[in-house]
Amino acid sequence: MSIKVSGVTKKFGDFVALDDISVDLPKGQLTALLGPSGGGKSTLLRIIAGLEDADSGTVTIEGNEATHLPPQKRNVGFVFQHYAAFKHMSVAKNVAFGLEIRKRPKAETEKRVAELLELVHLSQFSHRLPAQLSGGQRQRMALARALAVEPTVLLLDEPFGALDAKVRKELRDWLRRLHDEVHVTTVFVTHDQEEALEVADEIVVINDGRIEQVGTPDQLYDEPASEFVMSFLGPVTKLNGRLVRPHDIDVHTTPEDSLGKAGKIVRLLRVGFEVRLTVELEEADHPDVEVTVTRATQRHLNLEEGLRIWVSPTNGARTQSPIRAVN
Amino acid sequence: MATDTLNPASAEPTEPATSSRRRKPTGRTGYTREPAGVRWTLRVIAVAYVVMLVAWPTVLVFQRALEPGLGAAIDSLREPEVVHALYLTLYVTFFAVLINTVFGLTMSILLVRYDFPGKRILSTLLDIPLSISPVVVGLALVLVYNGRDGWFGQSLEKAGFQVIFASPGMIMATVFVALPLVIREVVPVLEEIGDDQEQAAQSLGANWGQTFRRITLPGIKWAVLYGVVLSLARSIGEFGAVKIVSGNIAGQTMTASQQVEDAYQNFQQGTAYAVAALLALIAMACLVVVSLLRPKDEEQ
């Protein structure tokens, strides 16, 4: 295990940010700490980096006890949400910072900086100041700067959170490809489940200062351990007292079997290739069901507002009993 | 229309000419829409205020100083008492500014980057020198440090260290009155730049000293310089507090500001105006130097 966190607790006044957290993060992998804002995931990352002290518990990095080491002795690379670019230094100087602190020979530093700028596609901007770069470029510079010192682990705190949606998607793909090239143990914090599912090898879901579940993206999506994990990783709706994903519901215009529930489409919203239906069931006291179908299905079945339909969970669909969530 | 509001620059060329013409006036500041009469009245008031209160009196000082001729003015600055007063002012100012810069930087970092009980009280205490009359500061220092019945001065004097009626007391008084100037310049800038850059430097292996020198200091250098210039101007011009602790002995413990008053009261008007003009010139030079340096930094 590359990073081992055991029994870490952190309070800010009365607020419990982390409540007895223990987790092992495997070597060489890209791990996402996923959870809602204020859930404690950034605090955990900052404790691993040494930027925050845990009230109790220990942190081990590559077998070295690091709990009481100052950040500069942990050999971690840290990337901040708002880039933390050294404003008064050129891009090349930013990247060279860690190497200059380590008093590496000048020629070696220059060579390494050139390599890294090549890696993050910023070679032609090496003499610019951070203020002259776009947000995405600044974050790539910050990444190169963190990688320059050959860190044991690379920690990224909401690295794409301040960027607009398109750049965020590009950088996400790019981070995945970069990781496949560089292979440094990487942990990144995000509140965007799509980002975590797309990029990470492993996801740690954190909520209310506690770990909800640890697993691969597929495990989490297919076998959520709790109602929270299921609803955080994607949209859910309730059918027959169980949670189910809106795209895991079959729609029929005739009563196919006894399992189908009759209801009326009260709202129809088209978003690109997707059509979202709100169905009011005839069964008394059953909450409205949200169903997602493709545009093709909608056209094929002539679905429209006011139409009477029958809904049932798709065969083999993952459902979740809400009772299990209360733990 | 949604794209128009998001990105007016790219939408502009496809817009009909009338609409972009219509849009322009709304882009201007509110002042241009005021009636011309109001605009001119406000300008005249502002200019008249500054001229009557600051510019004209200062110009008069220079005029009086140069009335006997430039040579005579320079001669009066060469009188031994004046030379000594100028030298003493330089000496006191140098140490006061040095102490206030070091202390001000330390205090600013303490106040912005660290949490400790009593922080707010300390922050309020630091503003006291701005609100207390310098004469009171002088008297308070005399009470504590005088050699006859001072609370702390007696033991200091026994150890052979005279504070009151000597330069240490004058430096202390000057430090006191100029105390908050560096802090009040540096604190807001430190707060604005945040500690992200410092944390990044630490995670890259920099220790405290390296982080301060390479990251924090370059980030606040203009605020520090501004604070230093303000302290410099305030220290050179300090009169009340220094007058009380110095004993006001001509040729020994008299600074340039005191020399101006002394000369003026002894009907040596030429000397008084010459020294006054020199003091004003130094203060103005400081401001000019800073305003010349500053825009270059913002262009980067």
Exposed, middle or buried by CB within 10 Å (0-12, 13-18, 19+), for B110? middle
Contacts of A96 in chain B (CB under 8 A): none
Residue of chain A whose Cα is closest to the Cα of B195: A84
The secondary structure element, H or E, covering residue B206 is: none
Q: Is the CB of residue B217 less than 8 Å away from at least one CB of chain A?
A: no
Cβ-defined contact of A80 to B196 (cutoff 8 Å): yes
pLDDT in tens, B60-70: 999 999 988 88
Coil, strand or helix: which one is B211? helix
Q: Is the CB of residue B199 less than 8 Å away from at least one CB of chain A?
A: yes
Cα separation, B166 vs B154, whole angstroms: 15
pLDDT score, position B2: 38
pLDDT of B5 strictly over 60:
no
CA angle B112, A18, A5 (to 5 degrees): 105
Architecture (CATH level 2) of domain B80-295: Orthogonal Bundle (1.10)
pLDDT of B98 strictly over 70:
yes
Exposed, middle or buried by CB within 10 Å (0-12, 13-18, 19+), for A79? buried
Q: Which of A76, A80, A93, A155 has the highest number of chain B CBs within 10 A, making it the mutation to test binding with B?
A: A80
Summary mean pLDDT of chain B: 84
Contacts of A131 in chain B (CB under 8 A): 300
Q: From edge to edge, which strands make up the β-sheet containing A249-252? A: A249-252, A308-313, A261-271, A274-281, A289-294
- pTM value is 0.78
The secondary structure element, H or E, covering residue A188 is: strand A185-190
pLDDT in tens, A240-295: 888 889 999 999 888 877 778 899 999 999 998 899 999 999 888 888 999 999 99
Residues 6+ apart with CB under 8 A from B278: B77, B86, B256
Q: Is the CB of residue B7 less than 8 Å away from at least one CB of chain A?
A: no
Cβ-defined contact of A84 to B218 (cutoff 8 Å): no
Cβ-defined contact of A87 to B196 (cutoff 8 Å): no
pLDDT of B89 strictly over 80:
yes
pLDDT in tens, B26-51: 444 545 567 888 989 999 999 999 99
Q: Are B188 and B222 in contact (CB under 8 A)?
A: no
Tell me the domain boundaries of chain B: 34-66, 80-295
Cα separation, A2 vs A29, whole angstroms: 9
Q: From edge to edge, which strands make up the β-sheet containing A3-12? A: A15-25, A3-12, A56-61, A64-65
Q: What is the pLDDT along chain A (327 residues), one digit of tens a residue?
A: 689 999 999 999 899 999 999 999 988 999 999 999 888 999 999 999 999 999 999 999 988 899 999 999 998 999 998 999 999 999 999 999 999 999 999 999 999 999 999 988 999 999 999 999 999 999 999 999 999 999 989 999 999 888 888 888 888 888 898 888 888 999 999 999 999 999 999 999 999 999 999 999 999 988 888 889 998 998 899 888 888 899 999 998 888 777 788 999 999 999 988 999 999 998 888 889 999 999 999 999 999 999 999 998 887 777 776 544 433
Contacts of A146 in chain B (CB under 8 A): 203-204
